[in-house]
C-alpha cells in the first residue's frame, strides 16, 4: 500500500490538498471493488505539515494536518501542492525543504503541481533533469533554477523519483497518472470515467496566453510595443520599428530583445496569435477571416503557426474554448 504525504504549506490552494486526497481515496475504493475485496486499499494518504505551525490556505482556511514532518517515516509519495502568492518564504524554509530533500534521498517519489515544483527544485533533486510547472511561472522558474531542464509546454513530466505537473487543475492529471503507475491502467480509466477527468491532456500550450513584458523601464521600446499592439495586423518592418524608437536597427534589435525577452518579429507573431485566439474564442469568424484580420495572408502558414504556438489546430482550438456550456 503506497503511503502518500500531502504537504500542507502556507498559501497553498486548499482544493489542491483535498482534491488529490479525495481522488486517491476513490481510486483505493475502486481498487478494492475490482479485486472483490482481495486487495488492501491502494493508497494511504496523510496530510503533513511542520510541527507547531498553523497552516492557512490562500483562501483563509486553516488546514489541520494529520502528522508532522517526521524523519522516522519514509513515504512512497510526497506531494507538494499549488501555492498562491510569494514563494520566497517557502523556499527559505529550511525545515520543509530539508525534509523534502531527505524524503527524496531515502526513496520517496517527490511530486508537485504548479508552483510546488519550485520547492522540489529548491532541494536540488531536479538539477540536470526535466520538470514542468504552471506556464505562467515558467520564466520565473527558469531564471531561478537554470540547471533544471524546463519543459514548460508539458502537462506532466515523470523523472522516475520526481514527477512534476503543470498548472492548478493538473493535480487531476497527476492523480490519474499515479493511479496508473501504482495501480493499473484499467483502474486509472475507471477513475477517469467516474470523476469525469479528461485523461488525454498532454500539453499546457492550449491554455497559455501571451506574456508581453512591459515593466522593463525602456521607454522607447515600450512605445514600440504599444504601437505594435494597435497595428499588428498591418505591414511591419524592423526599419520602421527602429525609426519609431529613434534608434539604429542593430541597437533597436538588441534593446528590444533585452527589454521583452523576444525578437521584434517573434513578439509580433505572439501578438497576432493572441489576437487570433481571442477571435476564435469569442466570434464566429471563419479561419480565412481570422487569418486576414491578424495580419497573415497565407492560410496554410497561419494554420501551422497557430498549431505550433497553441498545440491545437484553429478548428480544434475553437471547439475547446469557444462557449464552455
Question: Cα separation of 17 and 15, whole Å?
Answer: 5
Using CB atoms within 10 A of its CB, is residue 259 exposed (0-12), middle (13-18) or buried (19+)?
A: buried
Residue 132 has, within 13 A of its CA and on its CB side, a CA count of 25
What is the mean pLDDT, run by run of 10 residues, along the chain of 325 residues?
96 97 97 84 95 95 96 97 95 98 98 98 98 95 97 96 96 97 96 95 87 89 95 95 96 96 94 95 94 95 95 93 71
Could you tell me the residue ranges of all domains in the chain? 3-207, 219-321
Question: Cα separation of 99 and 12, whole Å?
Answer: 18
* pLDDT at residue 37, as a whole number: 76
Identify the H or E element spanning 80: strand 77-80
Question: Cα separation of 67 and 247, whole Å?
Answer: 61
* pLDDT at residue 219, as a whole number: 94
Q: Do domains 3-207 and 219-321 have the same CATH topology?
A: no
Beta strands at 62-63 and 55-56: parallel, antiparallel or unpaired: antiparallel
- End-to-end C-alpha distance for the chain, whole angstroms: 40
Question: Cα separation of 162 and 100, whole Å?
Answer: 11
> Which CATH number does the domain 219-321 belong to among 1.10.10.60, 2.40.160.20, 3.40.720.10, 3.30.230.10?
1.10.10.60
* Fold annotation for 3-207: Rossmann fold (3.40.50)
* pLDDT at residue 325, as a whole number: 47
Q: 217 is written with which cell numbers?
A: 523601464
* pLDDT at residue 302, as a whole number: 97
User: Which residue from 31, 27, 25, 72 is spatially nearest to 47, judged by alpha carbons?
Assistant: 25
* pLDDT at residue 150, as a whole number: 97
Which residue has cell 506574456? 211
Amino acid at each position: 500500500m503506497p503511503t502518500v504525504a500531502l504537504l500542507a504549506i502556507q498559501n497553498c490552494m486548499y482544493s489542491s490538498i483535498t482534491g488529490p486526497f479525495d481522488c486517491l481515496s476513490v481510486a483505493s475504493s475502486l481498487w478494492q471493488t475490482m479485486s472483490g475485496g482481495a486487495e488492501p486499499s491502494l493508497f494511504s494518504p496523510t496530510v503533513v505539515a511542520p510541527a507547531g505551525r498553523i497552516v492557512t490556505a490562500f483562501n483563509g482556511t486553516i488546514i489541520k494536518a494529520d502528522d508532522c514532518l517526521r524523519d522516522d517515516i519514509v513515504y512512497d509519495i510526497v506531494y507538494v501542492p499549488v501555492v498562491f502568492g510569494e514563494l520566497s518564504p517557502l523556499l527559505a524554509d529550511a525545515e520543509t525543504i530539508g525534509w523534502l530533500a531527505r524524503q527524496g534521498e531515502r526513496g520517496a517519489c517527490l511530486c508537485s503541481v504548479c508552483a510546488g515544483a519550485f520547492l522540489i527544485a529548491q532541494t536540488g533533486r531536479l538539477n540536470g533533469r526535466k520538470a514542468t510547472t504552471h506556464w505562467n511561472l515558467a520564466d520565473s522558474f527558469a531564471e531561478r533554477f537554470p540547471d533544471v531542464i524546463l519543459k514548460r509546454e508539458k502537462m506532466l513530466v515523470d523523472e522516475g523519483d520526481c514527477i512534476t505537473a503543470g498548472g492548478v487543475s493538473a493535480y487531476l492529471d497527476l492523480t490519474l497518472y499515479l493511479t496508473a503507475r501504482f495501480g493499473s491502467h484499467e483502474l486509472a480509466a475507471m477513475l477517469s470515467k467516474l470523476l469525469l477527468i479528461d485523461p488525454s491532456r498532454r500539453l499546457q500550450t492550449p491554455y497559455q496566453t501571451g506574456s508581453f513584458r512591459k515593466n522593463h523601464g525602456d521607454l522607447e521600446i515600450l512605445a514600440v510595443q504599444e504601437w505594435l499592439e494597435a497595428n499588428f495586423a498591418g505591414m511591419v518592418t524592423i526599419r520602421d520599428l527602429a525609426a519609431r524608437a529613434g534608434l539604429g536597427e542593430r541597437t533597436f534589435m538588441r534593446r528590444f530583445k533585452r527589454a521583452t525577452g523576444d525578437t521584434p518579429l517573434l513578439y509580433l507573431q505572439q501578438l497576432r496569435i493572441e489576437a487570433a485566439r481571442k477571435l476564435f474564442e469569442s466570434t464566429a469568424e471563419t479561419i480565412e477571416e481570422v487569418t486576414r484580420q491578424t495580419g497573415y495572408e497565407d492560410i496554410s502558414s497561419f494554420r501551422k503557426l497557430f498549431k505550433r504556438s497553441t498545440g491545437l489546430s484553429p478548428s480544434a482550438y475553437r471547439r475547446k474554448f469557444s462557449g464552455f456550456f
